[in-house]
């Protein structure tokens, strides 16, 4: 009876934490699609097919449904499956997608608590509560919850939490069903995002620190998850190839690749490690991209490199000391290093030097360490471990510190989250925060260009204002990093709206020089040729676009071009295809 009561209390506490997580992020339910949401749902052909697209989702790379030519080194069918199911039942509906993101975050709060309460059974019962509150209110999570695309990160971590909880249930009860379910949820985590592979190292650490098992028993308990990881990697390789196969990475995405020599590369990498730690403990400011050149390339004459090296090596030393003595602080720090390792570009170049979503899982280690330190200030008594309720009643200092940290985090979340409501608000704010970031400046200019297109017919004056602002922003972005085809396309479109046909032609030709198969550049350049009376060139350009990429507007433009040269049959054919 006591056991059932204990479980009841755990589920009740977990449900309260789930409600806290969902309540905080409930305003995001009304937000629009932003950033890579286009790639994973809004413009993803496979996802938009609903349940009929599952076969393609599970047999192709992550972004293949968005762009056949995009050979991204990502295989994440689980989050795309959830999005396809939402399309099947709710249509293309950002409100539904955001609502499920909030729900999954609530489930994360629930199962994270169930996992930690079981893992930390020999510690004060307030420890898992403190840890969960610090995690759920960590501002670094804003991007993951408010951005539909980042559901892959959330589901990966949720899959691990459920899997670890069930593994502990199996080990504590010796029942085999929890182990089978544990492996199933571990697979779900793996098929959500590759970073879950790092938790294969976390599982033996859990058992070493908190179950005091010997090495043989730890290895045996870890074996099913090693097997699951191997199976996942075999499937992943069969679908998308090797780790880096066919994937061109440039300094635009990962600024570390722009280092001129080993000294600059090594110093810059260490500085980035310090950036990871800094954002973990002080998440301000927050921006949606850290591509070229937000994180500077430095050498060994920069004092920040040594500070970063000292902080990272010092924390790692704490982990190693704790490993030897089986202390909680050792697990917390080693968990952080294990889960962040895949993003550090030390052994394998990551797609980006740093992004906020990379810290979604690793901050749990820091939250656990912080909660443990706060509890050290408490008065738990010498008798049987106090209940969490009694602790909150009698220990003002720890509760006050927790309340202060949670309040500061809450206000940071509330100040950052509204910028994720749409692409215009997000890119405008982030371009202001990071004026030397080429991608953010390009994204802001692109959002202004979209607005110019949107208002071109109903309010031409407003459209020209947006186009003028877009040209200024895009020119600034391209001056920082000129090799951005989409930047040149948006610049060409904006110049076209401003009737700067020469400038538009130059921009769109530059885009095609950098990306010869880009159908957006071809269609817009054909529009320029139409305006300049170069009809045959426009026809040749549009006819070179594969039919699967021709929009109704492209067909209508083709009909106008053929009409100008007197080809009645082609004019009628393409006019019908345009739906006009």
Following DSSP, what letter does each residue of 312-377 receive, concatenated?
HHHHHHHHHHHHHHT-HHHHHHHHHHHHHGGGS-SSS--SSS--GGGGTTTHHHHHHHHHHHHHTT
Q: At what angle do helices 77-90 and 151-173 cross, to 10 degrees?
A: 110
Tokens 């997580």 label which residue? Answer: 21
* HEC sequence for 475-490: HHHHHHCCCCHHHHHH
pLDDT at 396: 85
Buried/exposed 223-251: b ≥16 CB within 10 Å, e otherwise: ebbeebbeebbebbeeebeeeeeebebeb
Predicted confidence (pLDDT) at residue 561 exceeds the cutoff of 80: yes
Interacting residues of 168 by C-beta distance below 8 A, sequence separation 6+: 115, 118, 119, 206
Please give the average per-residue pLDDT across 320-327, as a whole number: 96
* Cα–Cα distance measured from residue 7 to residue 9, given in angstroms and rounded to the nearest whole number: 5
Structure tokens at 195: 């970073």
Neighbours of 443 (CB within 10 A): 27
Between 242 and 442, name the one with better pLDDT.
442
pTM of the model as a whole = 0.93
Q: Which long-range contacts (CB under 8 A, 24 or more apart) does 254-258 make?
A: 254/291, 254/345, 254/349, 254/350, 254/351, 254/352, 254/353, 255/291, 255/292, 255/293, 255/294, 255/295, 255/296, 255/297, 255/353, 256/297, 256/345, 256/349, 256/353, 257/349, 258/292, 258/293, 258/297
Please give the average per-residue pLDDT across 86-93, as a whole number: 97
Neighbours of 42 (CB within 10 A): 18
Structure tokens at 43: 């413009």
Confidence of residue 246 (pLDDT cuts 50, 70, 90): low
pLDDT in tens, 14-23: 999 999 999 9
Instruction: Say what percent of the chain tops pLDDT 70.
Output: 95
Q: Select from 432, 420, 374, 433 the least CA-distant residue to 400.
A: 374
Please give the average per-residue pLDDT across 108-125, as a whole number: 96
568 touches 534 (CB < 8 A): no
Predicted confidence (pLDDT) at residue 319 exceeds the cutoff of 60: yes
* Cα–Cα distance measured from residue 158 to residue 177, given in angstroms and rounded to the nearest whole number: 19
Please give the average per-residue pLDDT across 113-124, as a whole number: 95
- Average pLDDT of the chain is 93
331 touches 206 (CB < 8 A): yes
Predicted confidence (pLDDT) at residue 1 exceeds the cutoff of 60: no
* Cα–Cα distance measured from residue 530 to residue 463, given in angstroms and rounded to the nearest whole number: 20
Predicted confidence (pLDDT) at residue 4 exceeds the cutoff of 70: no
349 touches 254 (CB < 8 A): yes
Instruction: Say what percent of the chain tops pLDDT 90.
Output: 86
365 touches 206 (CB < 8 A): no
Buried/exposed 45-70: b ≥16 CB within 10 Å, e otherwise: ebbbbbeebbebbbebbbbbbbeeee
Predicted confidence (pLDDT) at residue 215 exceeds the cutoff of 90: yes
pLDDT at 566: 94
* DSSP for residue 250: -
Interacting residues of 272 by C-beta distance below 8 A, sequence separation 6+: 256, 295, 344, 345, 353, 354
Please give the average per-residue pLDDT across 537-565, as a whole number: 93
Predicted confidence (pLDDT) at residue 513 exceeds the cutoff of 50: yes
* DSSP for residue 244: S
Predicted confidence (pLDDT) at residue 162 exceeds the cutoff of 90: yes
* Cα–Cα distance measured from residue 283 to residue 411, given in angstroms and rounded to the nearest whole number: 12
Radius of gyration of the chain (CA): 26
Structure tokens at 204: 């033996």
Tokens 């980035």 label which residue? Answer: 272
Confidence of residue 392 (pLDDT cuts 50, 70, 90): low
Predicted confidence (pLDDT) at residue 288 exceeds the cutoff of 70: yes
């Amino acid at each position: 009876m006591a056991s059932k009561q204990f479980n009841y209390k755990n589920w009740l506490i977990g449900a309260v934490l789930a409600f806290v997580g969902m309540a905080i992020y409930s305003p995001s339910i009304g937000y629009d699609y932003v950033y890579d949401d286009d790639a994973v749902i809004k413009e993803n052909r496979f996802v938009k097919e609903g349940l009929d697209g599952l076969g393609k989702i599970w047999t192709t790379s992550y972004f293949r449904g968005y762009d056949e030519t995009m050979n991204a080194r990502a295989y994440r069918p689980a989050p795309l499956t959830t999005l396809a199911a939402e399309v099947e039942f709710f249509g293309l509906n950002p409100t539904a997608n955001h609502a499920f993101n909030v729900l999954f975050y609530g489930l994360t709060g629930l199962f994270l608590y169930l996992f930690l309460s079981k893992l930390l059974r020999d510690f004060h019962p307030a420890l898992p509560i403190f840890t969960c509150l610090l995690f759920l209110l960590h501002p670094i999570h804003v991007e993951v919850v408010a951005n539909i695309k980042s559901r892959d990160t959330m589901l990966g971590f949720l899959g691990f939490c459920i899997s670890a909880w069930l593994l502990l249930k199996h080990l504590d009860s010796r029942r085999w069903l929890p182990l089978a379910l544990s492996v199933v949820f571990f697979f779900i985590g793996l098929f959500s995002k590759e970073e879950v592979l790092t938790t294969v190292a976390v599982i033996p650490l859990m058992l070493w620190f908190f179950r005091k098992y010997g090495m043989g028993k730890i290895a045996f308990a870890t074996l099913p998850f090693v097997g699951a990881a191997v199976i996942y990697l075999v499937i992943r390789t069969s679908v998308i190839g090797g780790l880096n196969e066919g994937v061109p990475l440039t300094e635009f995405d990962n600024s570390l690749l722009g280092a001129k020599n080993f000294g600059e590369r090594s110093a810059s990498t260490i500085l980035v490690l310090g950036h990871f730690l800094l954002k973990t403990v002080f998440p301000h400011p927050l921006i949606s991209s850290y591509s070229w050149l937000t994180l500077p390339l430095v050498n060994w004459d920069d004092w920040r490199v040594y500070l970063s090296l000292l902080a990272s090596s010092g924390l790692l030393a704490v982990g190693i000391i704790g490993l030897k003595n089986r202390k909680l602080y050792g697990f917390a720090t080693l968990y952080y290093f294990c889960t962040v390792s895949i993003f550090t570009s030390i052994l394998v170049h990551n797609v980006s030097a740093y992004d906020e979503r990379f810290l979604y899982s690793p901050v749990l280690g820091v939250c656990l360490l912080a909660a443990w330190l706060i509890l050290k200030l408490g008065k738990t008594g010498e008798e049987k471990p106090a209940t969490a309720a009694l602790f909150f009643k009698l220990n003002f200092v720890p509760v006050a510190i927790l309340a202060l940290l949670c309040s500061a985090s809450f206000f940071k979340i509330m100040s950052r989250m509204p910028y994720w409501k749409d692409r215009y608000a997000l890119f405008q704010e982030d371009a202001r925060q990071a004026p030397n970031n080429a991608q953010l400046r390009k994204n802001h200019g692109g959002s202004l260009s979209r607005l110019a297109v949107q208002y071109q017919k109903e309010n031409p004056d407003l459209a020209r204002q947006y186009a003028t602002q877009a040209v200024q922003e895009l020119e600034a972005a391209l001056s920082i990093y000129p090799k951005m085809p989409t930047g040149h396309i948006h610049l060409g479109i904006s110049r076209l709206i401003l009737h700067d046909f020469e400038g538009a032609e130059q921009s769109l030709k530059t885009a095609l020089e950098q990306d010869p198969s880009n159908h957006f550049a071809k269609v817009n350049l054909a529009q320029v040729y139409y305006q300049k009376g170069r009809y045959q060139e426009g026809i040749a350009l549009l006819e070179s676009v594969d039919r699967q990429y021709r929009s109704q507007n492209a067909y209508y433009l083709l009909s106008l071009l053929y009409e100008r040269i007197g080809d009645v049959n082609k004019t009628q054919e393409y006019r019908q295809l345009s739906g006009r």
